[in-house]
């Protein structure tokens, strides 16, 4: 359970604006989850890492974010952990937005919204719908 706890701690650091701590904690969670074969928790941590890397005021580390999202997607597919699928889409949309591709961002974020709704993640769906004006 330590990898899951660390993933949640990384999310808390990110919510508090502590980006450096969020990145370090997410990486620690990934390392422990990978070593322990905790695929779902590793996928969670990969998503937190991607979100923390996106929260930069400087140059977006595109390759590292894409790598984290690809790994999370592979893990989700391998364990059929579909509850993380809309978050992967949302972060892909946010990456597209950060890179200046507004049309791709809108398309992928709307796809994430549809998946949030499909799995009954009403809180996330409402949040994203408000943001998109949908």
How far, in Å, CA of 85 to CA of 78, rounded? Answer: 12
* pLDDT confidence tier of residue 2, bands split at 50, 70 and 90: very high
| pLDDT value for 59 | 85
| pLDDT value for 56 | 86
- 99-127-81 Cα angle (round to 5): 80
The answer to whether the CB of 16 falls within 8 A of the CB of 39 is: no
| pLDDT value for 122 | 95
How far, in Å, CA of 41 to CA of 79, rounded? Answer: 11
At what angle are helices 39-54 and 2-15 packed, to 10 degrees?
A: 20
Task: Say what percent of the chain tops pLDDT 90.
Answer: 94
Task: Provide the whole-model pTM.
Answer: 0.93
What is the tens place of the pLDDT at every residue in 28-81? 999 999 999 999 999 999 999 999 999 988 888 999 999 999 999 999 999 998
């Amino acid at each position: 359970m330590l990898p899951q706890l660390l993933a949640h701690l990384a999310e808390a650091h990110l919510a508090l604006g502590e980006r450096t701590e969020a990145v370090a904690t997410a990486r620690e969670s990934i390392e422990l989850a990978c070593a322990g074969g905790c695929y779902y928790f590793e996928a969670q941590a990969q998503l937190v890492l991607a979100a923390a890397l996106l929260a930069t005021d400087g140059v977006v580390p595109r390759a590292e974010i894409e790598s984290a999202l690809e790994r999370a997607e592979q893990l989700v597919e391998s364990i059929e952990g579909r509850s993380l699928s809309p978050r992967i889409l949302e972060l892909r949309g946010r990456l597209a937005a950060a890179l200046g591709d507004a049309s791709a961002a809108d398309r992928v974020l709307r796809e994430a919204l549809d998946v949030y709704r499909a799995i009954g993640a009403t809180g996330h769906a409402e949040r994203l719908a408000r943001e998109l004006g949908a």
